[in-house]
Amino acid sequence: MGVRLLNGISKCLPELLWLDRLNVSRVQITIAGRACTSYAIANFVEALDKLPDFAEPTLRSATREPDETFKFTLSLKAGRGPGGEDTPLEEERDALLRRLASRSEMPEVLQRLRDLLEKPGITVETLETLPMTEQGRREQVCPMTIRMKAGSYHALAMIFDRLDRCSPIVALDHMEAKAARDDAAVGLLEVDLRLEIPVLRERAGEPAEAGDGEAGFHRYR
């Protein structure tokens, strides 16, 4: 979703309008920004309404500021990605399970994720893994929080493009991107991500005990 969202927004942005904040959660997407005219806001909402992967763009507020610009907030919802509706659920689940990491693979996966994030235009400031949560008899979830600075929304979109093609699966749980307030970082975005990595307790054919992998996971943390 991250790739389609950022690419879609970049194509919808009219002239005389810019974004201050982008907040993505499982429930909805919230966009806050400013525009020189109210027509630019209306054109933005109309363009978002034409995106095939998203629905219900709603203008929540629009106020005229003392500097004669218009400050606005709008929301929209993400729909299901293309191609998922015709796939039987059992086949979809089996395909997903083949792309999940196992506990013994987690140290390598976390290092691979770090390498994937540190690309031109991105500066990772903190990367923290949180305790695993139970997700079912076969799966757990490893949550992680990341704080970084991005040179542009395009650089951020490239991160999601790499995550989308990454194996094993890395899921986006929450994202907030906003203009940096530090004078030394003018033009940069401050980005907070919460990612989730689904983890198999054990993969078929692997030993039931994953002590070495678990120890390596904690060493990485």
Report the distance separating Cα 152 and Cα 136, nearest Å.
Answer: 38
What is the enclosing helix (H) or strand (E) of 24?
A: strand 17-24
Which residues share a beta bridge with 123?
149
- Name which residue leads in pLDDT, 91 or 146: 146
**Residue type present at position 201:** R
Q: How many domains does the chain have?
A: 2
Q: Give me the CATH number covering residue 34.
A: 3.30.1360.100
Instruction: Give residue-wise pLDDT tens across range 90-133.
Output: 676 677 667 777 888 888 888 888 888 888 889 999 999 888 88
Query: Pick from 28, 55, 86: which residue ends a domain?
Result: 86
Q: What pLDDT is attached to residue 183?
A: 65
Section 129-138 average pLDDT: 76
Q: Which structural domain range is residue 117 located in? A: 87-221
Query: Pick from 59, 86, 113: which residue ends a domain?
Result: 86
Report the distance separating Cα 112 and Cα 55, nearest Å.
Answer: 34
97 and 200 share a domain?
A: yes
Report the distance separating Cα 73 and Cα 32, nearest Å.
Answer: 4
Q: What pLDDT is attached to residue 74?
A: 94
43 and 104 share a domain?
A: no
1 and 47 share a domain?
A: yes
Instruction: Give residue-wise pLDDT tens across range 38-97.
Output: 999 999 999 999 888 888 889 999 999 998 899 999 999 886 554 445 556 667 667 766
15 and 58 share a domain?
A: yes
Q: What pLDDT is attached to residue 86?
A: 54
